[in-house]
Amino acid sequence: MATSTMGHSSQPARRGSIISAMAWMFLLEILLFWIPFAGSAIAGFVGGRKAGDVGNAIVAVFLPIVVFAVVLGLMATALITIPVLGAFAGLGGFMFATMHVGPLLFGAAVGGLTVDKGGL
């Protein structure tokens, strides 16, 4: 009996996306903000599972924070027209965002670790 792999590769399909993980984390964070620790942890867990592994999950947690800080710094610089003050505004936004990232990061790491790799 002959078997064929027509169109099928022997490698398992790569699962997970940083963009979808960020979107799920953002949506669930908005919906579950009223649950102090568990809401962020649940959002991180789901985002970590969507990311596919721990590395992508951590990137999905920190990339929006860095983008937020840079955009806030650029907007403040454009508004105030003094680059040093804009940089401090961006740094303040970065610090504010990272103060609240603990449960999200914890959930993302756990979620990324629980993804089934399809291996042994």
Gap between the Cα atoms of 71 and 57, Å rounded: 22
Mean pLDDT (the chain, rounded): 85
Gap between the Cα atoms of 73 and 22, Å rounded: 21
pLDDT score of 3 more than 60: no
More confident residue, 93 or 5: 93
Name the pLDDT band for 38 (thresholds 50, 70, 90).
Answer: very high
Lowest mean pLDDT, pick from 2-6, 14-18, 19-23, 114-118: 2-6
pLDDT score of 53 more than 70: yes
pLDDT score of 120 more than 90: no
Is residue 8 in a domain?
no
Is residue 2 in a domain?
no
Is residue 54 in a domain?
yes
Place of tokens 């740094």: 91
45: Cβ contacts below 8 Å, ≥ 6 apart: 107, 108, 110, 111
Contact between 53 and 21 (Cβ < 8 Å): no
Overall domain count for the chain? 1
Is residue 22 in a domain?
yes
The answer for 25, left when phi > 0, alpha when psi is -120 to 50, beta otherwise, is: alpha
Can you give the pLDDT at residue 93? 85
pLDDT score of 119 more than 80: no
Is residue 41 in a domain?
yes
The answer for 77, left when phi > 0, alpha when psi is -120 to 50, beta otherwise, is: alpha
The letter for the amino acid at 7 is G
Is residue 64 in a domain?
yes
DSSP states along 86-106 = HHHHHHHHHHHHHHT-HHHHH
Is residue 3 in a domain?
no
Can you give the pLDDT at residue 16? 79
Query: What is the residue range of 35's domain?
Result: 18-113
Is residue 80 in a domain?
yes
Can you give the pLDDT at residue 44? 94
